[in-house]
Amino acid sequence: MTPSPDNRRYQEFMRRVLQQDQVDVVFAGFSSASREAYRPIVNQFDGLAFYNNQYEGGVCDANMIVTGAVPEQQFSTLIPWMMETYGPNVYTIAADYNFGQISAEWVRKIVDDEGGTMVGEEFIPLGVSQFSQTIQNIRESGADFVVTLLVGAAQASYYEQAASANVGLPMASSVNVGQGYEHKRFTPPSLAQMHVTTNYIEEIDTPESKAFVEKFRAAYPDEPYINQEAANSYIAMYLYKQLVERAGGTDHDAIRAVIAGGDVCFDGPSGNVCLDPKSQHMSHTIYLAKVEDDHSISFPKVWENIAPYWLGQAGCDLTQNDPSAQYTPSNPPSAN
């Protein structure tokens, strides 16, 4: 994949802050493409980078700490619940790049593991904004629900087009609501029956969430919504503070020794989260957020303390070695 101009900027900035400015830590990147563009540079200069977004999973890299949720936390909860609630026939539409392709692979795997059927799968180029053929394909597929792994402004056109066409099927996603608060931005009921597994959104009705929202609003009164990246970034800052304090400084080897020792946890906006020493990903409480017809949010299900278990089980152990690689269900660490 050739880096886009924006991702080349990530590379330029990462090289500058690590080589010239010699910073101790970087919090960087939104898309998976941006992370994969800068990650080799972090490795080149043995830097430390926090990636604070949910993503398709699989990065086993001692120079990266991931605070967002990953597929075994979002899809291993969401897909079986959707199949049990709505039926076994699944249609996926996904953005045609790293995130969408690997996420769709996870969906296929879980649907198969659960005895369901993939009745369709489409990968949509990022600039596409017309979905009439896709909508027709979904109608004819016999799907019980649609998994939408769409990203960007163009692909967001799908939802209102599907609503206008009265597709009427429940939807499942790992990216909507928790990132782009589409339930606030789109006209009801275009996102109705969307089900999203997320580790944080501002509607979560717990004392920890309410306290976070109050502090956030006081600091940033003009922000339209407090999404999962806000919580993940907040968690990241306090995790790094804890690591530095326990390591007695910013030395990377000392910080990695603290991580390897385990018990790196923080009581955050969504409750207690802990850093897995093998993969350097976070455990999370996972909330199933359902968008109602009026675009309000309900929470039909909550899964407590879901570990980022797949990488460690598949053979990633950063306490022993550092492959600095990204893996998928069809290409796990144990196969390399």
Alpha helices in 87-147 (DSSP H): 98-113, 132-141
Checking if the pLDDT of 2 tops 90, the result is no
Fold of 72-198: Rossmann fold (3.40.50)
**Residue 194, φ and ψ in degrees, nearest 5:** -80, 135
Q: Left (φ > 0), alpha (ψ -120 to 50) or beta: where does 95 sit?
A: beta
Listed in sequence order, the residues at least 6 apart from 148 whose beta carbon sits closer than 8 Å to its beta carbon are: 93, 94, 158, 159, 171, 172, 173, 176, 194
5-70+206-286+306-335 and 72-198 agree in CATH topology? yes
pLDDT tens for residues 229-286?
A: 999 999 999 999 999 999 999 999 999 999 999 999 999 999 999 999 999 999 999 9
Strand order, beta sheet including 64-66: 26-27, 49-51, 64-66
pLDDT in tens, 150-162: 998 999 999 999 9
Residues 5-70+206-286+306-335, CATH architecture: 3-Layer(aba) Sandwich (3.40)
Please write the tens of the pLDDT for every residue from 96-129. 999 999 999 999 999 999 999 999 999 999 999 9
Angle at 107 between CA 321 and CA 175, to 5 degrees: 85
Instruction: Map residue 72 onto helix, strand or coil.
Output: helix
Q: In which band, very low, low, confident or very high, does the pLDDT at 6 lie, cut at 50, 70 and 90?
A: confident
What residue ranges do the domains of the chain occupy? 5-70+206-286+306-335, 72-198
State phi, psi for 80 to the nearest 5 degrees: -60, -40
The answer to whether the CB of 15 falls within 8 A of the CB of 38 is: no
Residue in 47, 39, 52 with CA at minimum distance from that of residue 10: 39
- Shortest CA distance to 67 belongs to which of 35, 20, 115? 35
Are 316 and 99 spatial neighbours (Cβ–Cβ below 8 Å)? no
User: Could you read off the pLDDT of 282-303 as tens digits, one per residue?
Assistant: 999 999 999 999 999 999 999 9
